[in-house]
A and B are shown apart, each in its own frame.
Chain A
Amino acid sequence: MSLNRILVPVKRVIDYAVKVRVTGGKIDTNVKHSMNPFDEIAIEEAVRMKEKKFAKEVIAMTVGPTKSQETLRTALAMGADRAIHVEVPEGQEVLPLQVAKLIRAIADKEKPEVVILGKQAIDDDSSQTGQMLAGLLNWSQAAFANKIEVEAGKLTVTREVDGGLETVSTKLPTIITTDLRLNEPRYATLPNIMKAKKKKVDKFTPKDLNVDITPSIETIKIEEPAKRSGGKKVESVDELIDKLKNEAKVL
Chain B
Amino acid sequence: MNYAKAMKSCAIALGAAAMATVAMAEDGPIKVGVILPMSGGSAYVGEGIFTGVELAVKQVNEAGGVLGRPLEILLRDEQLRPDVSTAAMRELITLEGVQHFIGPATSATSLANSQIAREEKVVNISPSAKTEALTAGENLHDYIFQLAPTTDVDGVRTVEVLKGIGTESICFTGFDYAYTHDWFAAVRANMGDIREAGAFLVPMNATDFSATITQLLSADCDTVIGTQFGGSFIAFIKQATPFGLFDSKTVLWGSNTGDHAVAAALGAELPAGLWASAADVWYYEGLESHAAYQEALADFQGRKETDMWPITGYNAVKFLAAAIDTAGTTDPTEVAAALDGLTIQTPLGEITIDPETNRANSPEFYGRFEPQDGSNAARMTDLRLVR
Instruction: Answer whether A and B are interacting partners.
Output: no
